[in-house]
Structure 1
């Protein structure tokens, strides 16, 4: 089974990516949560441009990806679940949970360390919030994130199928919870006990630092609730809240070339957790 997972991994991920991107884009058109102020042509061409660049960098820069490393770890007996004998279903479940917790902690770290915030703020500098915002990350952040996931896989020794499931889940939920879609309040209230919803994650993209530094989860909402970073609603309301950060608020800042150089422009002040400068 592991070999089959590895053989079909690129196709599986591409099918899920295109399917979810298309579904969320259509949902945004049919039932938008917020009024769109900036043309999709401007934002989507540049946001999807960064996706293409990041994909190329990862494919060219990393000889092995998490699924492949999980297979190598299994063959060589590396990692916790290749040492400790546990049922396959338990190893799968615990692996997905552990990988998700690692991404939550990584996200907090990128908000807490000013040098890392310089990279991550490109994601937050989008002036609107839709499905493509969930794909907009600086290439250096993507490289560091890949390195962290590889390290977790090495230590954990998870089943390759669990790693693939998590990678698909991470990509899918990032597009879902960044989407500009309207979900009924009652439905959202129930959903956010099991998955990070758009209304929950939109708060994280508020211009107010106290809200930017909340709701860090991408997949599961439990880490925010358990670790004290959960916020239920934005103080300005979902329709009235301002998306983005204080810096980089012009249309020109949405262009790909400006996004790539944002880490080296201006101070990293105001937003890093518990930092004034």
Structure 2
């Protein structure tokens, strides 16, 4: 059930975002769509296959076990179900923010996470451009969090759906009207906000870590409101990786095991 819900929502939002990008793109892409989409969506499908073979819906299964064994904070505290779910969603989102910060600051973690940032364009398919080892590490991290929090199975499903949906949205090659973008950014991470995180300028790359809620960046002083260059002119990606020929599917799988390059 958990997998069916997640994949149904994921592909529905993905198709919707691709249509939006085709209708009103913010930036002109440097590479042909087919070239990038083959790599990005290829990684996504490969990761889905790896996860199904290895750990499957581990976080959801962990939440069921935690509920049966009364393990975790929200299984010990006597709280209304809605409050338990809301608390779990909030704390899980904070934890994913912390994970993202660690992915940029810990050298070994950056080896994996740089795969995501080597995309020299920025559209909704960038949201699924991750190395399988990072995906598995993230799942292990979420399992630990679910057990510590005692997050309800419904909370886990809701969190995964929200996280995936927000990632597809905030990686979109789209922009909201100025007034709406500013209002929405008070609550959620918008494409304009997250695009700054994918800037080739290291000081901008190392900011705006949020995936869903934008409050964490403001709270922990990692927020950048505007890039040095306009959204349509900023360079996307990493300065050490500008050649599309080395950014193919197998090249990205091997990337964490190569010598690190200066950003």
Measured against the shorter chain, the TM-score band is: over 0.9
Question: 1:66 and 2:59 equivalent?
Answer: yes
Q: Tell whether the 8 Å contact from 1:203 to 1:212 is kept in structure 2 after alignment.
A: yes
Q: Secondary structure at the match of 2:209?
A: coil
**Which residue matches 2:155?**
162
For residues 178 and 248 of structure 2, the distance between their equivalents in structure 1, rounded to whole angstroms, comes to: 34
- Unaligned stretches of 5+ residues in structure 2: none
Relative to structure 1, is the Cα distance of residues 63 and 29 closer, same or farther in structure 2, using a 3 angstrom cutoff?
A: closer
Q: How does 1:1-277 map to 2 (within 5 A)?
A: 8-62=1-55, 64-270=57-263
Q: Distance in 2 between matches of 1:144 and 1:173?
A: 20
RMSD: 1.0
- Number of residue pairs matched by the alignment: 263
1:135-155 deviation line (CA, Å, top 9, x unaligned): 101111111100100000010
What is the distance in 2 between the residues matched to 1:129 and 1:188? 18
Compute the displacement of 1:64 (Å).
4.9
- Runs of 4+ residues over 4 Å off in structure 1: none
Q: Deviations over 1:196-248 (max 9, x none)?
A: 00000000000000000000000000000101000001101101100000122
Q: In the TM superposition, what is the alpha-carbon distance from 1:254 to its structure 2 partner? A: 2.7
Cα separation, 1, equivalents of 2:99 and 2:31: 30
Deviation at 1:93, TM superposition (A): 0.3
TM-score w.r.t. length of structure 1:
0.93
Q: Secondary structure at the match of 1:181?
A: coil
- Superposition deviation, residue 268 in structure 1: 4.9
State the TM-score, normalized to the length of structure 2: 0.98
User: What's the CA shift for 1:63?
Assistant: 5.5
CA distance in 2, matches of 1:171, 1:63: 16
